[in-house]
Amino acid sequence: MQQYVDLFLEMVAFRGLTDNTLKSYKSYIKSYLAYVEAHLKKIPDDVTWEEIRTYISFVKQSRSLSDRTINAHISIIRFFLEYVLHKPWDRYQLPFRKFDKFLPTVPSQDEARHFIDTLPNLKHKAVVALMYSAGLRVSELCNLKYSDVSRKDMRVYVARSKSRSDRYTILSNKALAILTKYWHQYGQPRQWLFPSTHNNGAKPIVSFTVNCIVNDHIDRLGWSQKINCHSFRHGFGTHLYENGVDLLDIQRLMGHGSINSTTIYVHLASNRNGFLKSPFDSAGDAHE
């Protein structure tokens, strides 16, 4: 089966995906091909639609996967059929699953400030302050270089974001003050803004470390809400909208490929419903 894996990865590589995406794709296709070999004892070319559906049911039940993850498995199999086996995809044979959409938990503006203010480690405080104040993804934060932060223009340059495009986002005055203090106390790093403590700072801090910083402080504060690193990025967008910033500006600052991704902050904003009046309350005003 290795020749199928190699050809699949070769075709995926043409799409120019990130290393993390490639790892996920490789894991999914190896799982499928292992099932074909061990359970069906066939070559992939001879697998029927019924057998593919059986595989999808198998991975869902045996691994308790979410519907989103199941859809990812289906997408990989579709790519494999079309680009490796050169077979047409029939969406009526294997439809994508519907899944529930939940609003993420977002800290309030006061909670975000309190979280940052109470971080005991200056480097950790600088990490979270910049992540929240500029609306950065964890991967974007980790890959920031010293030269990406512009005091003159008060903006942060984000290279090769999730949408495969560069962008600029805002640099907070408060975050800059914390960053400046951190920079002087932590050896004035000139390459990576937040270098790893390993390898003499030759590599940047990794996402796992940032996640640990946030999770450990949540435990320290005794918060029960489900907040993670991405909650602070959502907080950035939500709080901008609460403060009256236009959705198109928020889309630009956050690097969303579609405005549809940005409209979630309309639902998350805490103060918008206060300006609205139910038609049930206003319907009888004229008769009272």
Domains defined for the chain, CATH in brackets: 2-83 (1.10.150.130), 109-273 (1.10.443.10)
| Residue range 11-65, pLDDT digits in tens | 888 877 666 778 888 899 999 999 999 999 999 999 999 999 999 999 998 988 8
Q: Which residues contact 263 (CB under 8 A, 6 or more apart)?
A: 247
Q: Choose the catalytic residue: 26, 87, 155, 162.
A: 162
- The DSSP secondary structure of 140-161, one letter per residue, reads HHHT-BGGGEETTTTEEEE-S-
Instruction: Find the helix or strand (DSSP H, E) in which 170 lies.
Output: strand 167-170
The set of residues, in sequence order, having a beta carbon less than 8 Å from that of 144 and lying 6+ positions away, is 130, 136, 156, 158, 192, 193, 194, 204
Note if 267 is an active site residue: no
Report residue 144 CA to chain centroid gap. Answer: 16
- Express each pLDDT in 161-195 by its tens digit: 666 678 999 999 999 999 999 999 999 999 999 99
Q: How many Å separate Cα 284 from the centre of its chain?
A: 46
Instruction: Specify whether 182 is catalytic.
Output: no
**What does the angle CA 113 – CA 114 – CA 115 come to, to the nearest 5 degrees?**
90
Catalytic residue among 124, 125, 137, 217: 137
Is 233 a catalytic site residue?
yes
For 197-254, the pLDDT digits (tens) are: 887 778 999 999 999 999 999 999 999 888 999 999 999 999 999 998 999 999 999 9
Question: CA separation (Å) from 17 to 2, 28, 153?
Answer: 21, 15, 31
Report d(CA 181, CA 167) in Å as an integer. 26
Read off the pTM.
0.73
Catalytic (active site) residue 272: no
Q: Which candidate in 78, 97, 230, 252 is catalytic?
A: 230
Active site residue 162: yes
Q: Is 113 annotated in the active site? A: no
Which member of 233, 234, 239, 241 is catalytic?
233
